[in-house]
Structure 1
Amino acid sequence: MGFFEKIKTIFTDIKIQHTVFALPFAVMSAFLAAEGVPELGTLAWILMAMFGARNGAMAFNRIADSKLDRLNPRTKGRALPAGNATAKQYWFFLIVSSVVFLFSAFMLNSLAFILSPVALGIVFGYSFAKRFTSLSHLWLGVAISIAPVGAWVAVREEISIESLILGAAVVFWLVG
């Protein structure tokens, strides 16, 4: 299998189509923070940041769960446990995705860049939270709430009460 086939396998495995799940929260927040239409460049970097963070988090999750996935009939067909991709390929994909996220944050503003490692820590942390807490959906909600808070930071270079309310709404929506 060639390079592009491996990338396609990873994209399929991490369900790249689900990347759009958190996009509405980020886009809505960007429009609210801008009090209208945000600058096109800002919106583009927000979308790139979302793409990088989400895909990096999914790759990390697949790496973290690969041994458990081998034992689970529902997940043993995923690319890593099935042998359709290697951990090295996933780590490469994870690093590239994380660099895309970090560079996008850098291009947005200094606060976005300063907070970007914290955001990655939270989204990567979900992969382990589900092993030690019954509140993993709360962790996932916080991870997804980074989208509206981060988009607000991208537009205004501040964390405001409004952005935190948007983030809390996402957490409560996800947790139910």
Structure 2
Amino acid sequence: MSAIAVAPAPGRTKAFLRLVVIEHSIFALPFAYIAALSAMFLTGNNGSGGHVHWLQLLLVTVAMVGLRTFAMAANRIIDREIDARNPRTAGRELVTGAVTMRTAYAGSAVALMVFLAAAALLNPLCLALAPVAVIPMVVYPYGKRFTDFPQAILGLAQAMGPIGAWLAVTGTWSWDAVVLGLAVGVWIGGFDLIYACQDVAADRGDGVRSVPARFGVDAALYGARGAHVVTVLLLGWYAWLTDAGWAFWMGLVVVCAAFVYEHSIVKPGDLSRLNRAFFKVNSFVGIFLFAFALLDLVLRGLGV
């Protein structure tokens, strides 16, 4: 029996968390918080009277992290053979054996149950709509096998976060949340276009489909720029729909500057700083926009 097979549970847990890159939850959580807190402060439908309902916020966090963990585990399981043939991903845990298939399946099942339990505790509508959030998470890794635009499926999956967070707080549908969700989906789809550029050679050789593999790196980077322009426009639309104050608009200006920087350091002939653009800039975008959005909500609550 291998050392991996008899590794203690804590070791397997740490390896599983590395497999799903748990720290990348930071990309989606800020926008879910923007939606949840906006719903609390602007609608009052949750009975909070404009105050933070901490239990709801905790459940939103648990649901988001649970769903993302399930999605990442499913992605790694489904793509393990493709990952093994790509030099960049050949070191991933399922390929090397650092995480067994049994652990991956068990971890994904636990994460899915955590998500469903959090959805059930939030309200009946969240539980009823939970499958709508789960399905695109599973379809996405298969997308690269049947479409040149798998990033569109990823964007759709990520758009569910803010919409679900708003539903979690109010129990009712909101077009404001849909606009915010679309902004998140287009944003993440755009930076995934950038990320996919590093795998063009491997994808073409393996028959994996993507925008860069089909249309080239130049087209993918132009597509990412266009996606981020649309993201800014959608965030501006959301700000207008929710009567956002100067703080939110200032945050949007900072986001614009971050996007300009991101696209200035990644060029068709130079992808050497791609990881900086993907990981650092995009985590910055989510965190700083959330900070300014929270400031805006606090100032409005104070009547400033």
Q: Which runs of 5+ in 1 are unaligned?
A: none
List aligned pairs for 1:60-99, cutoff 5 A.
60-99=74-113
Q: Which residue of 2 is the match for residue 167 of structure 1?
A: 181
Structure 1 contact 38–155 (Cα < 8 Å) conserved:
no
Per-residue deviation, 1:38: 3.5
Could you tell me the percent identity over the aligned residues? 38
- Residue by residue over 1:91-135, the C-alpha shift from the partner in whole angstroms, topping out at 9 and shown as x without a partner, is 000000000000000000000000111211111211111221122
Task: Check if 1:3 corresponds to 2:9.
Answer: yes
Which amino acid in the other structure matches residue 172 of structure 2? E
Cα separation, 2, equivalents of 1:8 and 1:54: 16
Structure 1 contact 27–151 (Cα < 8 Å) conserved:
yes
Structure 1 contact 30–38 (Cα < 8 Å) conserved:
no
Which amino acid in the other structure matches residue 131 of structure 1? R
Cα separation, 1, equivalents of 2:132 and 2:51: 27
Name which of 121, 140, 150 aligns with 1:136.
150
Show structure 1 runs of 4+ deviating over 3 A. none
Q: Which residue of 2 is the match for residue 56 of structure 1?
A: 70
Cα separation, 1, equivalents of 2:165 and 2:154: 18
Per-residue deviation, 1:173: 2.3
Aligned CA RMSD, in angstroms, stands at 1.1
Structure 1 contact 70–81 (Cα < 8 Å) conserved:
yes
Name which of 15, 20, 31 aligns with 1:14.
20
Cα separation, 1, equivalents of 2:165 and 2:111: 18
Name which of 111, 117, 127 aligns with 2:141.
127
Q: Which moved more, 1:54-63 or 1:114-123?
A: 114-123
Which amino acid in the other structure matches residue 170 of structure 1? V
TM-score (norm 1): 0.96
Per-residue deviation, 1:172: 2.6
Name which of 34, 41, 49 aligns with 1:28.
34
Structure 1 contact 62–80 (Cα < 8 Å) conserved:
yes
TM-score (norm 2): 0.56
Cα separation, 2, equivalents of 1:8 and 1:157: 35
Per-residue deviation, 1:171: 2.2
Q: Which residue of 1 is the match for residue 243 of structure 2?
A: none
SS across alignment from 1:132? coil
Name which of 160, 164, 167 aligns with 1:150.
164
Cα separation, 1, equivalents of 2:31 and 2:87: 33
Cα separation, 2, equivalents of 1:115 and 1:91: 23
Structure 1 contact 49–100 (Cα < 8 Å) conserved:
yes
Aligned residue pairs, count:
176
Per-residue deviation, 1:2: 1.4
SS across alignment from 2:148? coil
Work out which structure has the larger RCO, using CA pairs closer than 8 Å and 6 or more positions apart in sequence.
1
